[in-house]
Amino acid sequence: MRGDNQSFAGSRPKDFVLLGVSDRPWLERPLFAVLLVSYVLAMLGNVAIILVSRLDAQLQSPMYTFLSHLSFLDLCYTTTTVPQMLANMGSARKTISYAGCAVQFAVFHWLGCTECVVLAAMALDRYVAICEPLRYAVIMHRPLCQRLVAAAWLSGFGNSLVQVVLTVQLPFCGRRVLDNFFCEVPAMIKLSCADTAVNDVTLAVLVAFFVLLPLAFILLSYVFIGRAVLRIRSRQGRRKALGTCSSHLLVVSLFYLPAIYMYLQPPSHYSQEQGKFISLFYSIITPTLNPFIYTLRNKDVKGALRRLLGRIWRLSPG
């Protein structure tokens, strides 16, 4: 370990050593199997959601436009971290290059902040659909949806750019051992040997902007949605209205609760063990569960999947 932490004063390390999810070697094989299965499920589930949202004529509404972008984000999320983890688990040299590390945390933060805004846009769509059903087509028109999606991707990129500029300037004084399974900004800040007050404050402000503001908007939207649902007299109408929102609320909970715990605390209080577990949850488990949440709780998506599988079956030889 002394060799890993030799001084590189005045220069950046060529690579970082990733200690992984656990310090128990006997856990690597079971974790490898779980991660591989989760990654395959996440790929299949999210690709299926994207295909049915784009190809099925009955799913050409704003709700499914946002859902396809959410699935694409989740697809990229897992691809940003899991292949590197699997490669390291299968290798004696568990390293990632400095450039690879910078790309990894840049893309990861870009995707995370973009997803915050996309989830808020989905809440807006649900609010208009339930509270303003007669004006839904007028309000949620295609140009507005395109602008909302573009704003999500551009704002996420802006946040990522700021984080990258600040983080790559940090000196590490030869420290190469990163107690995590991938490169993430809080872990990188903790590894630095310099004063990180500017990084701490900037991270807290930007995360508060991208996490708390969209979350407040989502919660406010559901306050109005709840009031509108209570005014619906028929039980079937209430059940249908709640059914269109329950999947979104569950996904919001799975995404925001870990993110709030992970990022809305000073990096100086960052716990590596807890941080690794939370990072594992929202970078792998949540993207794997999201397509199944929307599939199992949405009759339209299930019907579209059956129609897509039927087409594939008819086109298959024999």
Q: Is the pLDDT of residue 310 over 50?
A: yes
Residue of higher predicted confidence among 302 and 247: 247
140 is in which domain, residue-wise? 15-309
**Among 307, 287, 129, 124, which residue's Cα sits nearest to residue 221?**
124
In a domain, 147, yes or no: yes
Highest mean predicted confidence (pLDDT) among 211-215, 240-244, 268-272: 211-215
SS3 at position 196: coil
Q: What is the pLDDT of residue 149?
A: 94
Would the pLDDT of 212 be above 50?
A: yes
What's the pLDDT score for residue 182?
84
Is the pLDDT higher at 164 or at 21? 164
1 lies in a domain?
Answer: no
Model pLDDT, residue 239: 76
CATH number of the domain to which 24 belongs? 1.20.1070.10
pLDDT-based confidence at residue 121 (cuts at 50, 70, 90)? very high
Query: Is the pLDDT assigned to residue 238 strictly greater than 70?
Result: yes
pLDDT band at 297 (very low <50, low <70, confident <90, very high): low
Closest CA to 48 of 311, 256, 241: 311
Average pLDDT, stretch 280-308? 77
How high is the pLDDT of residue 87? 84
Residue with tokens 């750019």: 161
| Inside any domain, residue 10 | no
Neighbours of 72 (CB within 10 A): 18
DSSP 5: T
pLDDT at position 283 over 50: yes
Per-residue pLDDT reduced to its tens digit, 248-270:
888 888 888 887 777 666 555 55
Average pLDDT, rounded, for the chain: 81
Rounded to whole angstroms, the Cα distance separating 151 from 134 reads 26
What pLDDT is recorded for position 187? Answer: 80
Residue 305 lies in a domain: yes
Average pLDDT over residues 88-114: 86
Give the span between the Cα atoms of 93 and 4, in whole angstroms.
12
Is residue 218 situated within a structural domain? yes
Q: Are 58 and 51 in contact (CB under 8 A)?
A: no
Which pLDDT value is given to residue 11?
52
Q: ∠ CA 119-154-218 to the nearest 5 degrees?
A: 20
pLDDT tens-digit readout, 62-86 = 888 898 899 999 999 889 888 888 8
Residue 4 reports pLDDT greater than 70: no
Query: Which residues are CB-contacts of 202 (< 8 A; sequence separation ≥ 6)?
Result: 162, 163, 166
Number of domains in the chain: 1
Residue 315 in any domain: the answer is: no
Residue at 314 is within a domain: no
Check pLDDT > 90 for residue 156. Answer: yes
Helical spans, DSSP H, in the chain: 28-55, 62-89, 98-131, 136-139, 142-168, 185-191, 197-207, 213-230, 235-263, 272-280, 286-296, 299-315
Average pLDDT over residues 308-313: 68
Where residue 3 falls among pLDDT bands split at 50, 70, 90? very low
In whole angstroms, what is the distance from residue 12 CA to residue 169 CA?
9
Average pLDDT over residues 117-132: 92
Residues 6+ apart with CB under 8 A from 183: 16, 18, 96, 100, 101, 102, 104, 105, 108
Taking only the tens place, the pLDDT of each residue in 28-60 is 788 888 889 989 999 988 988 888 888 776 777
Is residue 288 one of the residues assigned to a domain?
yes
Kind plus residue range of the DSSP H or E element containing 9: none
Q: How confident is the model at residue 117 (pLDDT cuts 50, 70, 90)?
A: very high
